[in-house]
Amino acid sequence: MKYGVNERGYYGQFGGAFIPEMLYPNVEELREKYLSILQEPAFQEELNSLLRDYVGRPTPLYHAKRLSEKYNTKIYLKREDLNHTGAHKINNTVGQILMAKRLGKKRIIAETGAGQHGVATATVCALAGLECIVYMGKIDTERQKPNVEKMKLLGATVVPVTSGSQTLKDATNEAIRDWINNPEDTHYIIGSVVGPHPYPDMVARFQAVISEEIRAQLLEKEGRELPDYVVACVGGGSNAAGAFYHFLDEEDVKLIAVEAAGLGVDSGHSAATSILGKTGIIHGSKTLLMQTEDGQITEPYSISAGLDYPGVGPLHAHLAQSGRATFFAIRDAEAMEALRELSRLEGIIPAIESSHALAALKELKAGPDDVVVLNLSGRGDKDLNTILTYFEQQDAQQ
Amino acid sequence: MPNNRLTRLFQEKSGNLLNVYFTAGYPKLEDTTTILEELEAAGADLVEIGMPFSDPLADGPTIQASNMVALENGMSLKVLFQQLENVREKVTLPIILMGYLNPVMQYGFERFCAEAARVGVDGLILPDLPFAEYEEEYKPILEKHGLSLIFLITPQTSDARIRQIDALTNSFIYMVSSASTTGSQVQSTEAQRAYFSRVKALGLKNPLLIGFGISDKPSFEMACQSGHGAIIGSAFIKALQQPAEVRENVRAFLKQIR
Ligand SMILES: Cc1ncc(COP(=O)(O)O)c(C=O)c1O
């Protein structure tokens, strides 16, 4: 695969495993074993049956007629919002929990920002009967209280992280520190296509089910496997990696990655990493990240907690730099407008993350004969408080 | 093999080596060289100056906090090199810079090595620099500037990998005492004794300095029995938090170790 990872864990010049020796044995064990475990027929069978009966896959590919009419093109929504726990995140956690069991691990750790990945991890740990510890920035535990309560209900321990800026990047640091301190019995379920090799590749493979299904479903509905556009939002980049995966080498398919511009790319309150980031090292990966001139990692901003990460997975850094994918940056206000629009046109309340992808439709310039597949990565239930507060403030200003 | 203060130190002295880590620009921005001078006067054999980073993921709470304070004080690589400009007029002990790769990359790796060598630095510890990348990309640059790179090993590092590291090393090997981030307490366990004797039996060409969790005289002496010396970091940072004047804190702490 031209855009796949190479044997050394690189996508072009991005990726690798920039980790201290204390992490090496754990990461190396995973690197040595993940491909052969993935290819075991028994593993595949167990994974597929869980995806079908537990997660609820395949998720529908829905022809959104009223939305299509509005944008004068043919839009399909890939309904990852209909997965168990409400987002694509569970595709990865189901895969990784089976991986952890094959590796003989007894204890699971994870980081979470908005809490979606934390909930998806706590869910599969309950399913597998494994201990679960989720690191979450203290500020996020306050912003995302319902998800904290869900994780606890599912039996997980939620550890509020008070180091650094007390958000997602610090929760990730803390999870990594836990792994350093527990080098034998613990598996770290990372939540996106980030971190040291093999994580970006492994997570992309678990999310690749999204594009595998899109191809089959499009063939059935349109008589062709390839859409003209695939659109997805990018935080770390896992839902986009999954939606792009089986189209990466099909150069006729335009890949559209949508980042969060926050209050505006140049406002100083943004998460548009592909524009604002420079090559560096974050969480063991060489990739684009937002940082000061001195190489200190900076805190991003977006209304959507799931897009609020200062880096981007190395695959996406490569897609951005090579020009294989086109990147758009969508502001808070545009995303919130798109959220309301989809709710009213189609009766679907999307996650704020996914709303960034929706807001990019107006930028696409897709024609009436084009087929656009948009990955609706999650549902908006988790965001209800943010949504209500946002529109109340907006009404008050008018 | 570079001929620097570090390589010479290990030729001259083979045991009870005391290596002290502190964070540049901590507790006050201007304390870096004061601490350095005082450490030399009080009998440290070599020092590691930490280059602060926003996301020090191998460090425990004490060093993390010192990194944050140093950054708030305005520390950066540029400032650090300014502070070290005439350091060799005052101190002779070997100096190692320790930190994470990202700030060094942004400064420019080659420029960083050139500056480090120019002000009189002898070695680097960059824990997140993988050694395949080191061999291919970075080694020639370090060699050109006469700098030694120090690698870490842990109880989980295999014999084969330790031998590889030994072959790549020309100063000393940083032996992490237990699977942990910096600053956690070492307990002398059966597993740890087995680890120390396993590594000793390998008959490595490089000396071993034991670090992580060495905090006082007993743990220092214990480490010196298993290796050629020890590295003290978090405990020293804590000593710098005492109310006395910074020179006084350095002296009091070292008196208690030596
Ligand atoms: C619904 C949803 N979409 C997207 C994301 C962003 O993650 P990624 O870029 O890895 O898909 C998140 C993260 O929490 C999410 O919850």
Per-residue pLDDT at B180: 85
For ligand 1, atom 10, the nearest C-alpha belongs to A238
Percent of chain B with pLDDT over 90: 90
Q: Which two tokens stand for residue B246?
A: 């910074």
Contacts 24+ apart (CB under 8 A), A387-394: A387/A336, A387/A339, A387/A352, A390/A303, A390/A332, A390/A336, A391/A336, A391/A340, A394/A336
Per-residue pLDDT at B186: 65
Scan residues 71-100 of B and list those with Cβ closer than 8 Å to A. 71, 76-78, 100
Tell me, yes or no, if A2 is annotated catalytic: no
- For B136-146, the pLDDT digits (tens) are 999 999 999 99
Q: Does the predicted TM-score (pTM) go above 0.80? A: yes
> Where does B172-245 have alpha helices with state H?
190-201, 217-226, 234-239
B176 vs A232: CA distance, rounded Å: 43
Q: What is the mean pLDDT of residues A90-94?
A: 98
| Single-letter residue type at A252 | D
* A390 phi and psi angles, rounded to 5 deg: -60, -50
Give the mutation candidate from B102, B109, B161 for the A interface (greatest A CB count, under 10 A).
B102
A14 torsion bin: left (phi>0), alpha (psi -120 to 50), beta (else): beta
**How distant, in Å, are the alpha carbons of A181, B148, B228 from that of B151?**
19, 10, 16
pLDDT surpassing 90 at residue A213:
yes
**Residue A191: which pLDDT band, with cuts at 50, 70 and 90?**
very high
Q: Is domain B16-257 annotated with CATH 3.20.20.70?
A: yes
> Where does B109-230 have alpha helices with state H?
109-119, 131-133, 139-144, 159-168, 190-201, 217-226
| A80 DSSP assignment | G
pLDDT surpassing 90 at residue B213:
no
Pocket test for ligand 1, best of A90, A140, A307, A348 (most atoms within 8 A of CB): A307
- For B88-130, the pLDDT digits (tens) are 999 999 999 999 999 999 999 999 999 999 999 999 999 999 9
The beta strands (E) that lie in A209-292 are given as 229-233, 254-262, 278-282, 285-289
| Single-letter residue type at A284 | G
pLDDT surpassing 70 at residue A85:
yes
A383 vs A389: CA distance, rounded Å: 10
Residue with tokens 């043919």: A74
Per-residue pLDDT at A132: 98
pLDDT surpassing 70 at residue A190:
yes
User: What's the length of chain A?
Assistant: 398
Q: State the distance between the two ends of chain B, measured CA to CA, in whole angstroms.
A: 31
Percent of chain B with pLDDT over 70: 98
Lowest mean pLDDT among A77-81, A245-249, B193-197: B193-197
B40 torsion bin: left (phi>0), alpha (psi -120 to 50), beta (else): alpha
Per-residue pLDDT at B187: 66
pLDDT surpassing 80 at residue B217:
yes
Per-residue pLDDT at B3: 80
A357 vs A87: CA distance, rounded Å: 14
Interface predicted TM-score (ipTM) of this complex, two decimals: 0.95
User: What's the length of chain B?
Assistant: 258
pLDDT surpassing 80 at residue B1:
no
Q: What is the mean pLDDT of residues B208-229?
A: 93
